[in-house]
Amino acid sequence: MSTPNPRDELLEYLADMRGFARSLTRNRAKADDLMQDALLKAWKNIDRYKPGTNMKAWLFTIIRNTYYTQHQRAKREVADVDGAFSSKLSVKPDHDGRLHLKDFRTAFETLPVEQREALVLVGVQGFSYEEAAATAGVAMGTIKSRLNRARERLAEILELNGDGEMELTDTATVAVIQQDHSLVDR
């Protein structure tokens, strides 16, 4: 049996990569830009990928590193401090059926990027703690504590205490985040 072409294998992870980029940037256009830059880097450096290792983790590391590079550049850009531009934007009202998803999305986006990243890597993408830690460039204990803090914060924001209707387990997190990503991709 021959090993698959790494470029073909890369294409299998496009949807997962886009979801991860979206969770980091919180913005569809920025996620698309991040994806474009990360894919270009991955494609140009595909010869550095070691066949037989975890392609998905390699790609997610490229996305993460590209995000932080772009984030550093963005710090030097001029912001809309007085809100002159943002005050002119309008948002279409959501339908009642999306109220819970909207609440979750709002709560999810308030989390620090490190916590969102940990939730997506472990909860959505199914990375082991070890793989998530390697992708994020941190210790496994750090990933576990980020996950715990993220879940606690989401439960607090969504008022999911002992009386709450929903239990925030990996399964619940996956379902809601995956639903969120499917709505984003439409």
**Could you tell me if 65 and 99 lie in one domain?**
no
Judge contact between 26 and 180, C-beta under 8 A.
Answer: no
Residue 157 pLDDT class (50, 70, 90 cuts) = confident
Domain total in the chain = 2
Q: What is the CATH number of the domain that holds 40?
A: 1.10.1740.10
For residue 156, the model assigns a pLDDT of 85
**Could you tell me if 102 and 180 lie in one domain?**
yes
**Parent domain of 111:** 95-186
Roughly what angle, to the nearest 10 degrees, separates helices 28-44 and 14-25?
130
Measure the CA–CA gap between 85 and 74, rounded to whole angstroms.
17
Asked, for residue 48, whether it belongs to a domain, the answer is: yes
> How many angstroms separate the most distant Cα atoms in the chain?
61
Point out the domain boundary residue: 44, 74, 104. Answer: 74
Measure the CA–CA gap between 110 and 104, rounded to whole angstroms.
10
Asked, for residue 140, whether it belongs to a domain, the answer is: yes
**Could you tell me if 36 and 119 lie in one domain?**
no
CA dihedral 123, 126, 130, 135 (to 10 degrees): -90
**Could you tell me if 4 and 60 lie in one domain?**
yes
**Could you tell me if 4 and 67 lie in one domain?**
yes
Summarize pLDDT for 4-59 with one digit per residue, the tens.
Answer: 787 888 889 999 999 999 999 999 999 999 999 999 999 999 988 888 889 999 99
Asked, for residue 87, whether it belongs to a domain, the answer is: no
Question: Which SS3 state, helix, strand or coil, does residue 44 take?
Answer: helix
Exposure letters 116-154 (e unless 16+ CB within 10 A, then b): bbbbbbbbbbebebebbbbbbebeeebbeebbeebbebb
Q: What is the pTM of this model?
A: 0.52
